[in-house]
Chains A and B, each alone.
Chain A
Amino acid sequence: MNKQIENYLQQLKTQMADCDKATIQDATADAYEHLCTALENMLKEDPSLTEDQAVATVIAEYGTPEEISAEYKQAENYLKPYLTHAPKQDTRGPLARFFGIFIDPAAWGSFLYMVIALITGVLYFTWVSTGVALSISLSLFLFGVPLAVLFILSLQGLGWLEGRLVEGLLGVRMPRRPIFFPTEEKWFDRLKMYLTDKRTWLTMLYMIVQLPFGVLYIVIWTVMVAFSLSLIAAPFAQEIFGVSFIHFNTGYYSIPSSYYPLAVLMGILGLTAFMHVAKWTGRLHGRYAKYMLVRD
């Protein structure tokens, strides 16, 4: 990358230090795209210019880091993710707060994410393990290097996709643009650059660990939802359809009818409690995803 452009991007980052990491990433990606395109065009239009002169003009036109940072900060105020966990004071009573979880979009977002995580987890895991195995074994041959580079590029794409999912369902602001690395000419140099970049490894680790996370989430989800719903449904199932509550080996166990209200109550409490668990799991996972996938 051109030294001056690199300096400019660095200044922009410093200027935006108090912004959300994802916003910084968006702003630098936009600036990088614009400056490179503008530079290319300027050199084409006026071949007598040296690259240094052209870059200086292009940067001056684009706007100072202060100006650009101010524009992004202003825009960011209108761009809060839809499910942002609003820090506003909850004035409802404890009971309303507990059962109010059912109208909390953040809880439903996490509820859905816990199911989707298994599907994405399997996909990511398969992709990464296949990619790593192929890249390592084929790097013995010359054509393995471009393949490894393409694989790492695909990881960046997947990381971005996961970011969209996390932002949409968990309400954590993630980059809206994929990270762009400078494009070096030689495949081997690019590979070396990717391999020495922390982001590559953290993204890969995230993709692998997403599988156990997905399994864990779906297990908790299924057990909690199934158990709560069956408690709620037990009186109806027993009375109307004559199905007993527990089948264990050859034994059938039913809930005595005097315990019906208690069973339904337990079911409702269990489901409500699980919605809270889901919301907190989502919040934690969002933070973890941001830590792993968004890097300076």
Chain B
Amino acid sequence: MVESLTATRKFQKEITSGIASLILLSVLDRSVKPMYGYQISKVLGLNDDQAPLMKPGALYPVLRSLEKYELLKSEVEPSVSGPPRRYYAITDQGQQSLKLWTESWKEIKTFVDQILEGNLGDE
């Protein structure tokens, strides 16, 4: 039981780390204003009690790599209490990538669905 749980968790982790970039780009694309890490984790419901697919802490390295590839840009703003916050916003390049990635996500999704439903090959 414990072993299958670990395997399940590993599977979830692998899947989410693959699509985390797509999720983050999409969230920031829909947002009117730049958002900071905690806000994004709130929107995604990562702070809920039930074990989320992704830890809030895992968002930050992904945000950072997206910024490095210039799909996001960020700005630091001081906050009234506590440390300054880094606000992230999507770039034009990010929006283009989001379109492409959404397309490939749809293709993958259809493909996996077909396999899971056993519909493959009987068109």
The residue among B17, B62, B65, B82 with the most chain A CB atoms within 10 A of its own CB is B82
Residues of A within 8 A of B85 (CB): 33, 37
Residues of A within 8 A of B61 (CB): 27, 30, 71-72, 74-76
Interface residues of B in 71-92 (CB under 8 A from A): 76, 79, 81-86
Secondary structure dominating the interface of A: helix
Q: Tell me which of A61-69, A104-112, A238-246, A261-269 binds B.
A: A61-69
Residues of A within 8 A of B83 (CB): 29, 32-33, 36, 180, 182-183
Say whether A26 contacts B64, CB under 8 Å.
yes
Q: How far is the CA of A176 from the CA of B86 in the complex (A)?
A: 11
Indicate whether B46 reaches chain A with its CB closer than 8 angstroms: yes
**Smallest distance from the beta carbon of A167 to chain B beta carbons, Å?**
11
Residues of B within 8 A of A32 (CB): 83
Q: Across the interface, name the chain B residue whose C-beta is closest to A32.
A: B83
Q: How far is the CA of A226 from the CA of B102 in the complex (A)?
A: 54
Say whether B56 contacts A33, CB under 8 Å.
no
Residues of A within 8 A of B76 (CB): 177-178
Say whether A62 contacts B56, CB under 8 Å.
yes
Interface residues of A in 6-40 (CB under 8 A from B): 26-27, 29-34, 36-38, 40
Say whether A61 contacts B86, CB under 8 Å.
no
Interface residues of B in 28-58 (CB under 8 A from A): 36-38, 41-42, 46-47, 55-58
Q: How far is the CA of A68 from the CA of B37 in the complex (A)?
A: 14
**Smallest distance from the beta carbon of B61 to chain A beta carbons, Å?**
4
Q: How far is the CA of A78 from the CA of B60 in the complex (A)?
A: 14
Say whether A68 contacts B55, CB under 8 Å.
yes
Q: How far is the CA of A67 from the CA of B36 in the complex (A)?
A: 21
Interface residues of A in 71-88 (CB under 8 A from B): 71-72, 74-76, 78-79
Residues of B within 8 A of A29 (CB): 83
Indicate whether A41 reaches chain B with its CB closer than 8 angstroms: yes
CB < 8 Å neighbour of A177 from B41, B56, B86: B86
Say whether A63 contacts B57, CB under 8 Å.
yes
CB < 8 Å neighbour of B47 from A26, A38, A180: A38
Residue positions of A touching B, CB distance < 8 A: 26-27, 29-34, 36-38, 40-41, 61-63, 67-68, 71-72, 74-76, 78-79, 176-178, 180, 182-183
Q: Which 4 A-B pairs have the closest CB atoms?
A: A63-B55, A75-B61, A63-B57, A36-B82
Task: Show 21 residue pairs from A and B whose CB-CB distance is below 8 angstroms, ordered by the A residue.
Answer: A26-B64, A29-B83, A30-B37, A31-B60, A33-B84, A33-B86, A34-B38, A36-B83, A41-B38, A61-B46, A63-B55, A68-B58, A71-B17, A71-B60, A74-B61, A75-B61, A75-B62, A176-B64, A177-B76, A177-B86, A183-B81
